[in-house]
Amino acid sequence: MRDLSATVAAALCGALPATLAAAVFATLPVCSRPAPGAPPLGLPLDQALIRDVPALAHFARALRRDDLRVADLFTLPENAFAQTPDPTDYFRFLRLPESPSAAAAPAVNLHVLTYNIALLDARIFWGLFPYLRAPLLDERRAPLAEAIFSSDHEVVFLQELWRGQDVALFIETAKKHGYAAFASPRADHTDGLVLFVKAALVAGQAPAMQSFTYDAQVPSEYFPGPRMKRGFEHVVFVHEDLGTIHLFNTHMTAFPQNWQKRMSQARQLGLAARQAAQDGSSLVLLGGDLNGGPYYPEDVFHSPQVKAVPGWWCNTLSYFLVLYYGGLTDLALAAAPSADADVTAFAENHRSPATWPFTVDETTNSIYAEQYLGQEFPARIDHLFGLPASRLAARSTKLAFGDKHKFGGASGQLSDHFGVSVTLDVRN
């Protein structure tokens, strides 16, 4: 879901003076102060020097500042970076051990998927005007649901399941395949989030679910936009073998110019995940579309289709802040074929669909290209995180649902994103 400001201002150009339209819909954050809704930065975690934090030390090098604390990152000017923030060293640090041998402590195999399914049919101004409709929406809907729930994943995080009719279809299909469904309430707004868990894994009482909206929002996404607020859902259940598992599903604010809002969201979500793991025995799994990758080769994106778009290095901050504030590890990266593919893949000229690491890429996904051709870097923006690392062993990572499908006279992938599928061995 993309920024509404420019679209809405254009739609009003015949009804309002240009200066008034610009004033009403100027929602970009001011880089010299925290984004509106940002929580107070008074915790000990906020006061750590970034040079001493493994997840953030590469920012100290890129900023050429050894004196900055975590809280200072929230008020950076957009042009503060002196060089590309390169996370390669940290990614190598994150690698989990190989799956345990038969002689090691027993472990339970767990298949987890996060997937932005792009079922977007957005209308603005009380639903009076169309804004954006995803390609092949009607054709993709049923095949998407069947493909997802006939796969072998036991935990499924879905984003961009916006409309009530689609939520109903996916829940119905999921139940036929033995899943329990957890959809965030949509009475006042939608965040497009639904979680699914294989019902056979649930022991004891029914899982509990809570939904949260982020303190920091882009107001135009709610109005005149399609009544949407960014947030996360939190589901807790008892696994018959692994004990208590906390699941967090999210879809953060898009666009690099909203990097400060996304940083605030990352902090809020990370702290919630940390709180859930406070008892020391629970497993936490977090999935979703963070709308930010861990690495971009340049700070400004240039394309014949759009004017120069700055702010991409600031756009990497939110990914690392979720990891830091949550005490989380990147499960997909930990089990991936390469620790530094986020960096090296930009040098490769020949990529094929559903090949690690980019989950959005106009050269490999025709649905994505139809909507966003020439607007942004390819990136890994869909993520699976978890904790504690001591219980998690890597088995495999893959990008899922990359094949093209035929839909009558058209063809394309099932979504404009690829899913991220991780197989873990989880120790008791």
Over residues 75-120, the pLDDT tens digits come to 999 899 999 999 999 998 876 555 454 445 678 999 999 999 999 9
Alpha-carbon span 49 to 237, nearest angstrom: 36
Decide if pLDDT at 301 tops 70: yes
* Per-chain mean pLDDT for the chain: 88
Nearest to 36 by CA among 218, 191, 188: 218
Q: Average pLDDT of 402-407?
A: 94
Q: Average pLDDT of 193-214?
A: 95
Decide if pLDDT at 69 tops 60: yes
Residue 98 one-letter amino acid: E
* Predicted pLDDT of residue 11: 38
Over residues 4-31, the pLDDT tens digits come to 544 443 333 333 333 222 232 233 333 3
Q: Max CA-CA distance within the chain?
A: 73
* Predicted pLDDT of residue 98: 54
| pLDDT band with cut points at 50, 70 and 90 for residue 33 | very low
- How many residues can be counted in the chain? 428
* Predicted pLDDT of residue 56: 98
Residue whose structure tokens are 């739609």: 11
| pLDDT band with cut points at 50, 70 and 90 for residue 395 | confident
Architecture of the domain defined by 100-427? 4-Layer Sandwich (3.60)
Q: Average pLDDT of 279-294?
A: 96
* Predicted pLDDT of residue 1: 53
What secondary structure, in 3-state letters, does 181-245 show? EEECCCCCCECCCEEEEEHHHECCCCCEEEEEECCCCCHHHCCCCCCECCEEEEEEEEECCCEEE
Q: Average pLDDT of 131-137?
A: 92
* Predicted pLDDT of residue 348: 77
* Predicted pLDDT of residue 16: 31
How many CB atoms lie under 10 A from the CB of residue 218?
A: 26
Least reliable range by pLDDT among 37-41, 127-131, 248-252, 369-373: 37-41
Alpha-carbon span 47 to 45, nearest angstrom: 6
